[in-house]
């Protein structure tokens, strides 16, 4: 392995590790994500005496659950609770007794920066598909308080340095009923924060709805939604692609796979 300047290495380690003090990591399993790394045709190591090839190559991508930042939770909760029915968006998917409304794909990180938008405008709701022409969202009831979970994703390079790191928070409301039945979802959204991208790298991330499913019965539907987050990173030498998927239910369950 080629060597990197000791002073530069120490400085970069301080920069990348200082980020870790901003959020508390809770006791959780650190999971390694599979990723695809491809050589950029014709790419060469920049003529820089401080950086060598190992700096620009990703060796590991991990994800772990962390405590949700109270400030992020408050911002997302206010966006969710302050919306009106017009903020639900258009119908994007219909399955069985369910329909999904909102935005099917939305960016959460662009060019290494979090995308700031009205979360409720880009979120997803899984609601009852009814023949009642007068149905409105306000007819639904029994919604539980917003629930959130936060994860940290970290990219390490050939030197073991954190070259890309960010948090993302998933928030949603659940257990909504219509005519006393069902358990539905609303305000499903993903927001990125604390994005750190080292020099020589770029990074983008998008969230998309993959599918919805009725986890219950025809007479008493249980809404389920699967979302995927696609990550695209690049350096001057490589492009790195990976993704995560998670499933939410109208009972408030969250599972990752």
Alpha helix stretches (DSSP H) within the chain:
6-18, 53-56, 70-81, 119-122
Give pLDDT, residue 21.
Answer: 36
Give pLDDT, residue 46.
Answer: 77
- Give residue-wise pLDDT tens across range 61-90: 999 999 999 999 898 888 777 766 555 778
- Give residue-wise pLDDT tens across range 154-195: 999 999 999 999 999 999 999 999 999 999 999 999 999 999
**CA triple 228-233-235, angle to 5 deg:** 170
CB-based burial of residue 9 (10 Å sphere; 0-12 exposed, 13-18 middle, 19+ buried)? middle
pTM: 0.84
Each domain of the chain, given as residue ranges in start order, spans 6-256
Closest CA to 121 of 147, 102, 106, 138: 102
């Amino acid at each position: 392995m080629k060597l990197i300047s000791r002073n530069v290495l120490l400085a970069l380690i301080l920069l990348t590790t200082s980020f870790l003090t901003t959020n508390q990591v809770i006791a959780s399993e650190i999971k390694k994500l599979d990723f695809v790394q491809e050589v950029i045709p014709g790419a060469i190591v920049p003529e820089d005496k401080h950086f060598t090839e190992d700096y620009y190559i990703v060796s590991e991508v991990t994800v772990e659950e962390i405590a949700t930042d109270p400030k992020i939770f408050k911002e997302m909760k206010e966006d969710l609770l302050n919306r009106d029915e017009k903020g639900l968006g258009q119908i994007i998917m219909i399955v069985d007794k369910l329909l999904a409304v909102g935005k099917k794909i939305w960016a959460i990180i662009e060019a290494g920066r979090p995308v700031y938008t009205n979360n409720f405008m880009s979120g997803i709701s899984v609601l009852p598909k009814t023949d009642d022409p007068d149905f409105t969202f306000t007819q639904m009831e029994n919604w539980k308080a917003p629930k959130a979970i936060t994860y940290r994703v970290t990219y390490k390079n050939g030197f073991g340095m954190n070259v890309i790191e960010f948090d993302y928070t998933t928030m949603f409301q659940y257990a909504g009923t219509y005519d006393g039945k069902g358990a539905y979802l609303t305000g499903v959204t993903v927001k990125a924060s604390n994005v750190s991208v080292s020099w020589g790298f770029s990074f983008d991330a998008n969230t998309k709805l993959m599918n919805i499913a009725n986890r219950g019965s025809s007479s008493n539907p249980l809404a389920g939604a699967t979302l995927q987050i696609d990550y695209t990173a690049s350096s001057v030498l490589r492009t790195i692609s990976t993704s995560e998927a998670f499933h939410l239910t109208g009972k408030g369950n969250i599972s990752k796979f």
